[in-house]
Amino acid sequence: MTQAAQPRNVAIGYAAALGTVAIWAGFILIARLGGKSALTGWDIVALRLGTAAIILLPFSLKLPPGTWRDARLWTLSIIGGVVFLILAYAGFKLAPAAHGGILMPGMQPFLVTGLAWLLLGTRPPRQRVLSLMPIALGVACVAYPVVTGHHTGPSTLPGDLMLLSAGIAWATYSVLVKKWVYDAWLLTRFVALASTLLFMPVYWLWLPKGLDQVPWSMLVLQALYQGIGPTIVAMILFLKAVAILGAERMGALVALVPVLAGLGAVPLLDEPLTPWLVAGLALVSLGAWLASRPVRG
């Protein structure tokens, strides 16, 4: 790559990363909106996967030979599709949007850095390790009222644990994507379709549903935004950013999602912006900025 092309390529990577951040912040807000409705978490997973599968099917009729027999692709679909979605939408039934923003994308720098070291042998530079400190303090600020009992209202701990588990699933997915190196468009199509094949039969036959208890506008909103935004557009942008910037730097940039989600939840979802939450959002934002800066040799 020429010296002129390299900065342009990096700029494309950051543009893809910021697009991912914006869509994922919207995903958190709209998922929490659905979580506060009569829809079950299973319903939202089904709406998301079903819409994405319908849109992507015409583009997936001629996948490369051997695609459906690739065990690695099925592993990525289970982790980054089924497991992540089930845990995330179940968590948003029990915990506010700001908690989801911090416990899923907010924890990505820790989780991705640790897993990249474990699975890829990528030892984090000192700058990135130091940048994790304000993020750790930010997460602690959000967790403190819940752990100490200063949180008012029903306990959010079960939902928080589900959201954190969803964050672990996504970090594992992103590091494995970096390790196994698949084409972004192929992976986007396969993960959506394979996740749908795995989840939909179980959903229709055995899982509880609340589709008839909400207005059509809610169904359309969840189906179109969740099925197109995070599943297709953000997935392509995310994989492009990981390929250019690396999983560790992308994980750090994703930590900006809590700021947008936490602030957006105040007017859109009528969720409180407590001093502890403000401190947590500010610290996570600072850590994300530090971690995403170029590493000095």
Q: What is the pTM of this model?
A: 0.88
For residue 119, name the pLDDT band (cuts at 50, 70, 90): confident
The stretch 189-202 carries a mean pLDDT of: 97
Among 112-126, 194-208, 276-290, name the one with the lowest average pLDDT: 276-290
Q: Which tokens go with 229?
A: 């935004």
Q: What are the sequence ranges of the domains in the chain?
A: 5-292
Judge contact between 132 and 110, C-beta under 8 A.
yes
Question: Does the structure show a pLDDT above 80 at 290?
Answer: no
The 3-state secondary structure of the chain, one letter per residue: CCCCHHHHHHHHHHHHHHHHHHHHHHHHHHHHHHHCCCCCHHHHHHHHHHHHHHHHHHHCCCCCCCHHHCHHHHHHHHHHHHHHHHHHHHHCCCCCHHHHHHHCHHHHHHHHHHHHHHHHCCCCCHHHHHHHHHHHHHHHHHHHHHHHCCCCCCCCHHHHHHHHHHHHHHHHHHHHHHHHCCCHHHHHHHHHHHHHHHHHHHHHHHCCCCHHHCCHHHHHHHHHHHHHHHHHHHHHHHHHHHHHHCHHHHHHHHCCHHHHHHHHHHHHHCCCCCHHHHHHHHHHHHHHHHHHCCCCC
Q: For 255-276, what is each residue's pLDDT tens digit?
A: 778 888 888 999 999 988 888 8
Determine the pLDDT at residue 294: 63
pLDDT band at 221; cut points 50, 70, 90: very high
- For 14-23, 86-95, 195-204, 241-250, which range has the lowest pLDDT when averaged over its residues? 241-250
Kindly report, residue by residue over 54-88, the tens digit of the pLDDT: 999 999 999 999 999 999 999 999 999 999 999 99
